[in-house]
Amino acid sequence: MSYADKVFIDMCNDIIDNGYSTEGEKVRPKWDDGSYAYTIKKFGVVNRYDLSREFPIMTLRRTAFKSCIDEILWIWQKKSNNIKDLNSHIWDEWADENGSIGKAYGYQLGVRHQYKEGMMDQVDRVLYDLKNNPYSRRIMTNIYVHQDLHEMNLYPCAYSMTFNVTGNKLNAILNQRSNDILTANNWNVVQYAVLVHMIAQVSGLEAGELVHVIADAHIYDRHIPLVKELIKRQTYDAPVFRMNPDVKDFYEFTVDDFELEDYKYGTQIKIPVAV
């Protein structure tokens, strides 16, 4: 069993056994048939992953590794808010006729701000600090910008990263306001684990811990039977994560610079999505 499997199974059991049901409450998401999508949820879920020991990808079912990386590069490296720069269709329903998702995600990371050291966007500020002041306690990003929310087609779910160097290890906290556990939990963990590895390598550091803080960790009502079946499946050992060691510039990474060795996983399941 991979450690990511254990975390996922324990979290799902806790939500199902001890969570709060939103049935009958005023909720926003709906299913394709127009009925309200209720959830069972837990508040303030915190999961920790030691990236120096194991790559946190689940084996209960396949997590689309390359697509995860493509999206994180779209947001953090390309700083794009247009789905034409993305190689998957996961953002299609939130894009306008021109492909834009508004002033969300990558757009916010690409906005340049005035600092004492000069004009930089949030990503370049992180890279600058890790090079010039790595033990600072102020290395963080935030894309939940209230003044621009009315121009975002989707409010950011994973909205903040805080980086902290301990010794030669780069640790990070991912803050997420909302997490659809079945659809997106391991997806988010995988892509931000890759991000920590990337930033650590170009900063001359080693990847340490990723702490995932979720304000509202929920399982949708129609996902509960799927989750119950999933967490009873056979599990496998975590695969070995490989990243091209020759890349020293954050903006030179491509999807082809990453691979998993010996990734075994269970069969995929079809998941209805609430929007």
**3-state class (DSSP) for residue 13:** helix
The answer to whether 242 is annotated as binding is no
Is residue 12 part of the annotated active site? The answer reads no
Catalytic residue among 1, 64, 154, 157: 157
Break the chain into its structural domains and give their ranges: 3-23+43-261
pLDDT of residue 155 exceeding 90, the answer is yes
Q: What is the pLDDT of residue 238?
A: 97
- Say how far apart CA 181 and CA 254 lie, in whole Å: 28
Torsion of CA 108, 130, 51, 63, to 10 degrees: 20
The answer to whether 219 is annotated as binding is yes
Q: pLDDT digits over 87-114, tens only?
A: 988 899 899 999 999 999 999 999 999 9
Q: pLDDT digits over 178-196, tens only?
A: 999 999 999 999 999 999 9
Percent of the chain's residues with pLDDT above 70 = 100
Alpha carbon of 71 to those of 21, 44, 81, 132, 160: distances in Å?
31, 25, 11, 28, 16
The structural architecture, per CATH, of the domain 3-23+43-261 is 2-Layer Sandwich (3.30)
Does the pTM of the predicted model rise above 0.85? yes
The answer to whether 4 is annotated as binding is no
